[in-house]
Structure 1
Amino acid sequence: MTEQKAPPQTPTLTVDTVRQGVTKDNNRRSKRRRRCVRALLLTFFAITCINAGVTSLLITWRAPTVVSFDMKGTLDRFTEQAAEQSLDEEQTKALTVRFMDILNDELHTWQGRHDALILVTPAVVSGTADITDEIQSAVAQKMSAGDGR
């Protein structure tokens, strides 16, 4: 005698289960699946919000301050003052090189101390602090003190 395997029994379907579209076992499984998906989505959104907050803080924290400096006005002022002195060509060259070195050092020092981005005045429309007077007075002090660097 050969044994025949009976087909697996499926739960009987009633009008209510047909309306719901699932049997009781599938209903429990889908509830578990929905809870799991809901928990995963909630975790995903929480992590995304935390990452967005941390990223915006880092961008704000590391953004340099933007300031302006009137390079043309400073050079014009130096040229006028140098022209008032009676210097020969070699002395004028030495004075100009010394002035440019001091100006460059002062700008780099100010930029390092204030973590700032220095733009020339024509590149700025509005909304930045002007550091021209501060830099000019520091350069003038170093030039009058005879401090070459």
Structure 2
Amino acid sequence: MERIIIQSILWLVTFCLLIALWVTREPSIVEYDINETVVSFHHSIGQSDLTDTQREKEIARFTQTLDDVVREFAHDNHVVVLVSPAVVSGTKNVTKDIQQLLLQTLHAQNAAKRDAPREVNE
């Protein structure tokens, strides 16, 4: 009986150490080509029929959403995201992953905006 208790305590300590090592591990560094994303956005917004005011609002929304998505990606994947020009070599490029998350977020925002009740001005 005593042996089982000691083994259980050792397994518990080992398990706790593994969890502590996993939680406190150093983040990896990845690269993201922000220029590719921004150029693509500016190209699409340049072809739209928006007024200057609408265009400014869309640029502000895009910029904030991009910042939020990159921050969320870094947190969720336990990585530090650097822009591609800051990286010499040896990192994983996550541009496509972040662009996909950005598109999903922007589409969700657009859907929410379409579904929101419209105010009636009298």
TM-score by length of 1: 0.55
Task: Spell out structure 1 runs of 4+ moving beyond 3 A.
Answer: none
Matched, 1:74 2:41: no
2:64 match? 101
For 1:83 and 1:141, locate their aligned partners in 2 and report how far apart those are by CA, in whole Å: 21
Superposed counterparts of 1:126-145, under 5 Å: 126-145=89-108
Give the deviation of 1:115 after TM superposition: 1.3
The amino acid of 1:88's aligned partner reads: T
1:86 match? 49
Give the deviation of 1:72 after TM superposition: 1.2
Percent pairwise identity: 30
2:78 match? 115
Tell me the secondary structure at the aligned position of residue 62 of structure 1. Answer: coil
Per-residue CA deviation, residues 67-90 of structure 1 (Å, 9 max, x unaligned), is: 000111111110001111111111
1:20 match? none
TM-score by length of 2: 0.67
For 1:62 and 1:135, locate their aligned partners in 2 and report how far apart those are by CA, in whole Å: 23
Give the deviation of 1:101 after TM superposition: 1.3
The amino acid of 1:131's aligned partner reads: V
The amino acid of 1:78's aligned partner reads: F
Gap regions ≥5 residues in structure 1: 1-57
2:28 match? 65
Give the deviation of 1:62 after TM superposition: 2.9
Give the deviation of 1:97 after TM superposition: 1.0
Q: How many residues are treated as equivalent by the alignment?
A: 89
Greater radius of gyration (CA): 1
